[in-house]
Amino acid sequence: MSRRLWAAGVAGGLFGAGLALAGMTDPRRVLGFLDVAGDFDPTLAWVLASALLVSALGQFWLRRRQRPWCAERFELPAAQAVDTRLLLGAALFGVGWGWVGYCPGPALAALAVGAREALWFMPAMAAGFWLHDRWLR
């Protein structure tokens, strides 16, 4: 197994385990976070704050390196403008997330732990990816 594939597997497994441990495989957590006028659940705020802290520390550490471990160079996004496509994509993502309580990472983690909701969400998400790619062509 290549070093790059191994690193991706470890990172994905750690990410999924963290989501499962934090309870993010339960869409009711996300929906409870969005229900600010009702049965509010602040768990997602703590998960997001923790993720932001880990990401900031990782970015600080990585920027001191000359090159990544598993690639020849860092590949940063070229596009930096906020455009209509980005805003529409973010809005669509947010509506879907608020509607069902899943986004791709937690949905995969939920599928791994046998959540029934993920069994219908994953094919719907894959169909959305497929439609998006077809629309771009």
Residue 67 per-residue DSSP state: S
Q: Count Cα atoms within 13 angstroms, Cβ side, for 100.
A: 19
Task: Read off the pLDDT of residues 64-102 as tens digits, 9 standing for 90 and up.
Answer: 888 888 888 888 888 889 999 899 989 988 998 888 888
CB 34, CB 98: distance < 8 Å = yes
Task: Read off the pLDDT of residues 36-61 as tens digits, 9 standing for 90 and up.
Answer: 899 999 999 999 999 999 999 988 99
The pTM of this model reads 0.74
Query: Can you say how many angstroms the Cα of residue 114 is from the centroid of all Cα atoms in its chain?
Result: 19
| Angstrom distance (rounded) from CA 40 to CA 34 | 7
